Amino acid sequence: MFSSSSILTVDLAAIQANWRYVASSLKNNAECAAVVKADAYSVGAEEVAKALYLAGCRSFYLATVEEAVVLRMILPADAILYVLGGVRLGAEPSFAELRLIPVLYSLAEIKHWSEFCASICAALPCVIKVDTGMTRLGLRLSDLDEFLQMAANHFSLNPILIMSHLACADEPGHPLNTRQLQQFEKAVAKTKVFFPQIKTSLANSSATFLGEEFHFDMVRIGAALYGINPQRDRPNPLQPAITLKLSVLQIRLLETDVSVGYGAAASAKAGTRLAVVAGGYADGIHRTLGLSPRGMVNGQMVPAVGRISMDSCVFDISAVAADPEYIEVMNEQISLDSLIAHNNFLGYEVLTSLGRRYLRRYLGKV
């Protein structure tokens, strides 16, 4: 279902270029994986994953088995699919059949996976996630010791990767980055005693730019794919990949002074020209544009007027000569980075709030 042909354009060539840039900056032999969970942050996992595969990416991270099933159906057999949400009871056969690799984050889940693998006489690969200071999903370091003792006696366990996640990677000077790095190094050293060939992964997009010591064997980039600056205090080395323009539904030339929108929170003078556009908070406009949205028509900024509605919002186009067909709300001038800085939102929040009602157009579609 589309919202009156408002158009979200995704530049797949720019996404490929951003992946190649990061991949080429890694220390020797480190792999660059792509995080394409939540429908590639709402811009289309199938198209993004296919483009990244052609660029050379082979490892992809999803949140759920349902997301992974979709990509397994469209990507070549050598694509490696990791499921960050682990294994729900009853989903184990799907992991085995579709060669999905679960990220396991608790002793109970590890034991359950081990029992399933033993029941089918197959040591299927898995990932062990440890919590090094974010206090989210992951084994405590004390749990890791228990896991390693258990693993020594369970030949059905086949961990191929140990990973963790930084809490403050977009703040290069934050002391927690160093503490988490040190904790992860300790966890890796313990684990390699039992699994000397196990791979290692700590860095997301921002952490990749903290330095080579954070790269380990694999980095996992998500936001960087779309041109979001991985380090806010430095120039952005990445290409913008997302534009959004909202279809104009109605032009109103005001004959009298009026209030505009819910709550009569705004007003407009007689003679004002207003454009009502397709796109509201159900389409992520509240998160994308913040409380004081701006748009652009033929290179000229136009302000929003009044509260954003569920399916629409209103712009003052009095300064624009001709009636526009669209109002751009995300482009090279109104970039993701500028919106993030202006509204104090995370790039992830902006992208994942875009919803599914826009008509999506892919540049460089494969």
Nearest to 157 by CA among 90, 107, 99, 201: 107
Query: DSSP state, 283?
Result: G
Q: Which of these is catalytic: 41, 53, 105, 262?
A: 262
- Find the distance separating the first CA and the last CA of the chain, reported in whole Å: 23
Q: Is the dihedral of CA 114, 58, 69, 63 positive or negative?
A: positive
DSSP 56-101: T--EEEESSHHHHHHHHHHS-TT-EEEETT---TT-HHHHHHHTEE
Exposed/middle/buried for 108, CB within 10 Å: 0-12, 13-18, 19+?
Answer: exposed
For residue 146, the Cα-to-chain-centroid distance in whole angstroms is 33
For residue 330, the Cα-to-chain-centroid distance in whole angstroms is 17
Amino acid at 187: A
Annotated active-site residue 61? The verdict is no
Annotated active-site residue 37? The verdict is yes
Give the catalytic positions in this structure.
37, 262
